[in-house]
Amino acid sequence: MLFAASLTLLSAFALGLPWTRAVELRCWNLQRVGLVLGRGLLVGYALGLLTPSLRALPYALAFAVLAQLVLWIEGVLRTGLPVYLDRASFRPIDGLGCAIAVLLLALLFSKILADPLVGWDARSIWFFHAKILYFADHALDRTIWLTRSISFSHVDYPKLNAVWSALWMMHSDGWNEFLPKFSLLLLAAPTVLLCLGFSTEFATRALLLAALVFRMGSTLWDGYMDGLLACYAGLGVLYGVRFVLHGASLDLMTVSIALGMCAGLKNEGMAVAVCTLFFMSLGRLWQLRLAQKPLERPSRETVVTLVCAFLGTAIWIGWTKLAGITNDLVASDSKLDQIRDRLSDGHSLDQIWTALITSEEQSIIALVLATAIGYWLVNWQHFKRYRPALAFGICVPLAYLAILLLVYLTSPWDLTWHLKYSASRTRLTLHACFAMGLLGPLIAEARGPLAARHERTFRGLRSESRY
């Protein structure tokens, strides 16, 4: 099983490799590795939705690995073998980061596969959809998803986890309650890599792992998507802050992959993606205006990554619209009346607010706010330069909070019941965005500049080799 697990992980990685400059630059920092793996998972999602046979897809993935090998050889030949073998152009490998990543993923592997699927969402939504795909062998089939008896399982929800779980289970003898959960590790792997790849500083890594990975607790391994969604939303905001500050295309690609994952995991993820992309664009434009620089033209790699990130989601949303599959939250009428009633009853808004911001979260927000305020008091002379990044970091969680309030105010269900079963998980994403939005500008500068230095060195070597 370990062999099959490694093969699946490698296939996902290989799927993400085409049109990346990572091979050409040999720039294998952990952010790059996480980015390529995330991209592979999202490309696999799109392929899994489109393929007429999921059972045949692993063979296609094997073909992708081979094709990648050919591309790599072509890249080596094009660059020139002596340059490629020159040790000076190799980026120093982040040994500690790699060791921590392998250890954490091994630990998560043992935890994820230790227990069977038990929770309602895990059994009746996420892995039930995976089971449906596993037996149906293809995804876009109206007759399956519109079956009346399965309408309880929210069939309109995104299928990123379901596709990868079904694909992985094609290796096994039959469906069961333990093995499908391996998809959780596949989806969690980029979060660990991106947390570790953000910086080479130990304190930053520990902070990100604690605040984004371990903070999610059991939602990372019990088959719910909320923990993963919160991790990716937090990472999207964190890398978004750095993109607003510096405008590096690697960060933009990382943001798009993190947001693509959010959109592929849950419907709420689409809201996070829209908010983050909107405010990030505004923040970057503001930053460029402050620095009096022109707008950068995105590279081919960036455009391809952006397309890959949202391709699966676009296919799924487009298809559900065509097939007439609707979400139960938007299926009710008289939304405005409902909002008016709940706003005027005097307790609904309060009830939503206390469900989303509990006393524990209040103390965390107070801590993060105090840290941020103290920090900017000490660094007041640099505050102006950081205003766009800070504004972005604050606007995203506030916009998301507004969306959540709207969702709960218009909920067709009994509000107490709806909040009881969802607020504890929905607020994870909100708080991850809030924490990363406020802490992001503080830690955005704690980046090891090794990757950039390496890219410069290698470019220099390439230009020398031409003469």
Partner 1 sequence: MQRRTLRGAMVVQALALLGLLFLVPRISESIAEVAKAAQRELAGTSTPFVERSRPQSGEEFGLPKFSREVVRMLRLLGLKDYSLSSWLRRELRTHQRIIEGAWPIPYNDDSPNLFLRKTDRLPPRCEIRRAGRDIVYAFCS
Point out which residues bind partner 1 (CB under 8 A): 1, 106-108, 110-111, 113-118, 120, 123-124, 128, 131-132, 135-136, 147, 149-150, 152-153, 172-179, 201, 203-204, 206-207, 210-211, 214-218, 220, 360, 363-364, 367-368, 371, 374-375, 378-379, 382, 439, 442-443, 445-446
Task: Retrieve residue 215's tokens.
Answer: 């903070």
Q: Would you say 114 or 402 has its CB closer to partner 1? A: 114
Nearest to 197 by CA among 96, 272, 89, 307: 96
Which residue number, 136 or 398, has a Cβ lying nearer to partner 1? 136
Question: Which CB, 57 or 207, lies closer to partner 1?
Answer: 207
Query: How are the residues of the chain apportioned to helix, strand and coil, as percentages rounded to the nearest 5?
Result: 80, 0, 20
Distance (Å, whole) CA 153 – CA 323: 17
CB of 277 to partner 1, least distance (A): 25
Give me the sign of the Cα torsion angle 107, 113, 115, 117: positive
151 is written with which tokens?
A: 């309408």
CB of 352 to partner 1, least distance (A): 22
Cβ proximity of 296 and 250 under 8 Å:
no
| CB within 8 Å of 93: residues ≥ 6 apart | 28
SS3 91: coil
For partner 1, the closer of residues 68 and 204 by Cβ is: 204
- Closest approach, Cβ 238 to partner 1, in A, equals 13
Q: How far apart are CA 255 and CA 239, in angstroms?
A: 6
Asked whether the beta carbons of 259 and 278 are under 8 A apart, the reply is: no
Q: What is the DSSP string of 285-325?
A: HHHHHHHT-PPPPPPHHHHHHHHHHHHHHHHHHHHHHHHT-
CB of 173 to partner 1, least distance (A): 5
Please state, in angstroms and rounded to a whole number, the distance separating the CA atoms of residues 39 and 56: 21
* Nearer CB in complex with partner 1: 3/467: 3
Nearer to partner 1, 84 or 134 (CB): 134
CB of 210 to partner 1, least distance (A): 5
What tokens does 350 get?
A: 């309060």
Closest CB to partner 1 among 108 and 271? 108
Give every CB contact of residue 149 below 8 A, 6+ residues apart in sequence.
none
Least distance in Å: CB of 213 to partner 1? 8
**DSSP-derived secondary structure for 185-225:** HHHHHHHHHHHHHT-S-HHHHHHHIIIIIGGGGGGGTSS-S
Nearer to partner 1, 124 or 302 (CB): 124
| Distance of closest approach, residue 217 Cβ to partner 1, in angstroms | 5
Closest CA to 257 of 215, 294, 308, 220: 308
Nearer to partner 1, 129 or 342 (CB): 129
- Considering beta carbons, is residue 312 or 441 the nearer one to partner 1? 441
Q: State the minimum distance, in angstroms, from the CB of residue 315 to partner 1.
A: 24
- By C-beta, is 36 or 443 nearer to partner 1? 443
How far apart are CB 111 and partner 1 at their closest, in Å?
A: 4
Shortest approach of partner 1 to residue 276 CB, angstroms? 22
Question: Cα separation of 166 and 130, whole Å?
Answer: 5
Helix axes 226-246, 249-265, angle to 10 degrees: 160
Please count the helices (runs of H) and the strands (runs of E) in the chain.
Answer: 22, 0
First to last CA, the chain: 51
Beta carbon of residue 76, minimum distance to partner 1 (angstroms, whole number): 34
Of the candidates 457, 427, 270, the one whose C-alpha atom is nearest the C-alpha of residue 362 is 427
